[in-house]
Amino acid sequence: MKKASLSIIVVLMCFLAACTEDTFEETKMNQQPPSNLSYSQLINAYLGEGFKSGQPSVQTNGQEPTFILTGGRSSTNEMDEAMLSLFEVVDSTGIVKLEEGNMLGLDAYQLDISVETIYGKTDFPAGFTFEITEEPVEAE
């Protein structure tokens, strides 16, 4: 009986000795806040027309992200609340939508997006960018 108990203790000590800090570092690395937000280049953003972006890619270490629009600007001005209210960022997918019939002028725009998981929140200034252009004239 004593030999069996001693053998069990020796085996347990071997397992414990094998557990080092390296064993737990991978877990710590996976508990990082979101990173690497990337949207595909948006095309067809025309004066007065709405649009819907594609779903972005973002590193979340397997956690469900929540996307939040936190600010924005054109090439000349910060967007106020009225301008920001023209946009919707779908919180579960990150898809950006702009209302049809909006009053945005011909300009380049940047939207600030925050992404949050259980491991933290990351702000992405100018996370989504687009340019409003005149609709191309169709050839006759």
**Tens-digit pLDDT profile for residues 130-139:** 999 998 766 5
Q: What is the pLDDT of residues 88-112, one digit of tens each?
A: 999 999 999 999 999 999 999 999 9
Output the CA–CA distances (angstroms, integers) from residue 25 to 35, 44, 64, 129, in the order listed: 18, 45, 22, 36
Residue 42 has φ and ψ, to the nearest 5°, of -85, 135
Domain boundaries, the chain: 34-132
∠ CA 23-27-30, nearest 5°, is 145
Residue 116 has φ and ψ, to the nearest 5°, of -125, 140
pLDDT at 73 over 70: yes
The pLDDT, as a whole number, for residue 133 is 93
| CATH top-level class of 34-132 | mainly beta
Which one is predicted more confidently, 121 or 16?
121
pLDDT at 18 over 80: no
The pLDDT, as a whole number, for residue 95 is 97
Alpha-carbon gap, residue 11 to 73, rounded angstroms: 63
Q: Using 50, 70 and 90 to split pLDDT, how confident is the model at 83? A: very high
Residue 98 has φ and ψ, to the nearest 5°, of -120, 135
Q: How many CA atoms lie within 13 A of 19 on its CB side?
A: 6
Alpha-carbon gap, residue 128 to 126, rounded angstroms: 5
Alpha-carbon gap, residue 30 to 34, rounded angstroms: 10
Alpha-carbon gap, residue 54 to 40, rounded angstroms: 7
The pLDDT, as a whole number, for residue 104 is 94
The pLDDT, as a whole number, for residue 43 is 72
Round the average pLDDT of the chain to a whole number and report it: 86
The pLDDT, as a whole number, for residue 51 is 95
